[in-house]
Chain A
Amino acid sequence: MSGNVIEAQNLTKRYDGATVVKGVSFAVEQGEIFGLLGPNGAGKTTTILMLLGLSDISDGTARVLGHDPEREPLAVKRRVGYLPDQVGFYDNLSAADNLRYIGRLIGLEAEEREDKIAASLAHVGLAEVADHRVHTFSRGMRQRLGLAEILLKDAEIAILDEPTSGLDPHATLELLDIIRDLKHKRGVTVLLSSHLLDRVQSVCDRVALFSAGNIVLLGTVAELGRQVLGGGFNVEVEAIGTGLAERLRTIPGVGKVEAAGPNRVRLLADRDVRSEAAAAVVAAGGKLLRLSVEEPSLEAIYTNYFHIAAHQDGGRYAA
């Protein structure tokens, strides 16, 4: 099966007189990892809650696996797994007991429930602590337990809100591995929100950039790179020699040359110009020390976008 599993059309949320989500539209295809990115308070969590039927939709429509989350929330929630921001568990119960409660709520029969609980705990690496009380768990373990819950549910879509926030680098990597597994081994569609960009970049097929309740950019990371950074390729040259900058500027495709440190220049180009740059340095009698290309990073897109937006805003106010 392919096609869109989540469709949002002009989704709007107003409360207390403020419009928190201002008519966002996007679609998530079956089997992809889709990222909602943006600063805190940009409307990511509210959008997620509307998709799950946990928050009323003020305007617009949403379809999750063909169901309307407002009218058929149970059908949606039966097939979608949700890991909330800073997920909480019943601390006085063990990991397995927490999952047992969820298993009963889903309506699994006892035998199937126990099998699935054991399997999902093993999948996220918590089998050994299954009978430990959750209050002894670290943040990373809680997040993994949250993912175990999604596995227990056999969810077709996993919605993860800030899954990696507050985790140490090691725990983050482990979690991202499990998220990748969801997609590759189980064919689960993943919708995740985050403000941690470099991590998200490594797992997301497509991203939507949120700002103040709007989706301002949408597409693959490479597409966004072209859109925002223009050139998209950042080639860094470290070399000793004179007049290198002028020489490098003449390479076709290079838009801009800027100093990036002692003996270092950064070339902004619309393609990978490493070989030409190397040839130019050698031709000028310089000593090439290092040559690297940076792929467009979400971090750069993000800061660049908001930098530009802030400038435009500033200009408007000044005028």
Chain B
Amino acid sequence: MRREGSALHGLGVVTLKELADHFTSARVIVLQMLVVLIAVATIYVATEQIKDTTAEDQFLFLKLFTTSREPLPSFVAFLSFLVPLIAIGLGFDAVNGEHNRRTLSRILAQPIYRDALLFGKFLAGVYTLAISLIVLWLLVIGLGLIRLGIPPNTEEMARALIFLLVSIAYAGVWLALALLFSIIFRSAATAALVTLGLWLFLSLIWPTLAPLVAVSLAPTTDEETLILAAQYLSRLSPGTMFGEVVLAILNPSTRSLGPIYLSQLQGAVMGAPLPLTESLMIAWPQIVGLIAGSILLFVVGYVVFQRQEVRA
């Protein structure tokens, strides 16, 4: 059955309204301040460490993102932990909040489809995250310039830019997940707890659990198969995928994200950096995986939302 009119009619209005809500909400401001504080701290520590230890490096500037010094982890590690938190903070009450405020039926009685409402909410979340991450990225680059005193070269900038885009995709996965749970659970608290629980499980427990699961499931004792199986399983966690992409992009000497066979090392110059396109090729499946993951989660949420009854 065909419906009349565009499904996306009113999308812009919904997106702008949600965006305004995000940027004026105390929740988002607190989360962003937290991120900025952490960014400043980690970059300060990283630059100290770089000054102390590194003599010469073709990609000195990229080390800004990945260098850590006890007790603080690197900027990238912090980001992979905090981005989900912000995304969940933006999304966990997106739809059930409308239910609980009893605004949903009033909004849907206006000449728009549900599609526009849900997609608008998702887009507003992605824009908010993108704006925050871009600002953060510029802040880090700026701090790095001041503290290190050397400008990044073109390839470093290109790699840093890819890193930024991948961070946004990574945030999108968590946003779509939070949005999905905000559709499924009528209570915002339940949705938040379930999403946070899943986040903790996938980020902290799953990476260590995956090898055990692989051993118990795989009908083989072949070491190689088990390692590969464990790696595939661990990639169910967006955090793992993000970590792998970051490794390949920000560390140009990364040659493979899986096990490396001796035959592959023949003729290789150890420690020599790969060109950008090669690094991108290595990380490509993971990048696509992150984007596909957010689309998939959004579609599941979309289907559930379309079938949901409006009345509470």
Contacts and interface: CB of A to CB of B under 8 A. Distances in A.
B106 A105 contact: no
Given A71-B3, A104-B17, 15 more contacts: A46-B311, A49-B310, A55-B310, A74-B3, A74-B5, A74-B111, A82-B106, A83-B106, A84-B105, A87-B102, A89-B103, A91-B101, A101-B13, A105-B10, A105-B14
Interface residues of B, number: 27
A252 B13 CA distance: 69
Given A15-B309, A73-B113, A149 B106 contact: yes
A222 interface: no
A74 B309 contact: no
B109 interface: yes
A82 B108 CA distance: 10
A105 B111 contact: yes
A223 interface: no
B310 A54 contact: yes
A77 interface: yes
B40 interface: no
A102 B17 CA distance: 11
B106 A86 contact: no
- Looking at B13, B105, B309, which has the most chain A CB atoms within 10 Å of its CB? B105
Contacts of A15: 309
A71 B4 CA distance: 7
Interface residues of A, number: 35
**4 tightest A-B CB contacts, nearest first:** A88-B102, A82-B109, A105-B110, A74-B5
Nearest to B116: A105
Interface in A62-119: 70-75, 77-78, 80-84, 86-92, 101-102, 104-107
A45 interface: yes
Contacts of A104: 13, 17
Contact of A78 (B106, B111, B113): B111
A146 interface: yes
17 contacts: A54-B105, A54-B310, A55-B309, A72-B3, A74-B111, A77-B111, A77-B112, A82-B109, A89-B101, A90-B101, A101-B13, A105-B10, A105-B13, A105-B107, A106-B110, A107-B10, A149-B106
B1 interface: yes
B145 to A, nearest CB: 39
A86 B310 contact: no
Contacts of A107: 10, 111
A84 B110 contact: no
Contacts of B3: 71-74
Majority SS at the chain A contact face: mixed
A119 B14 CA distance: 24
Given A46-B311, A49-B310, A49-B311, A84 B109 contact: yes
Contacts of B13: 101, 104-105
A86 B101 CA distance: 10
B186 interface: no
Interface in B67-121: 101-103, 105-113
A134 to B, nearest CB: 10
Contact of A74 (B2, B9, B106): B9
Interface in B189-217: none
A75 B311 CA distance: 21
Contacts of B113: 73-74
Given A15-B309, A89-B103, A77 B109 contact: yes
B5 to A, nearest CB: 4
Nearest to B2: A71
A92 B25 CA distance: 9
Contacts of B311: 45-46, 49, 55
A90 B5 contact: no
Interface string B296-312: 00000000000001110
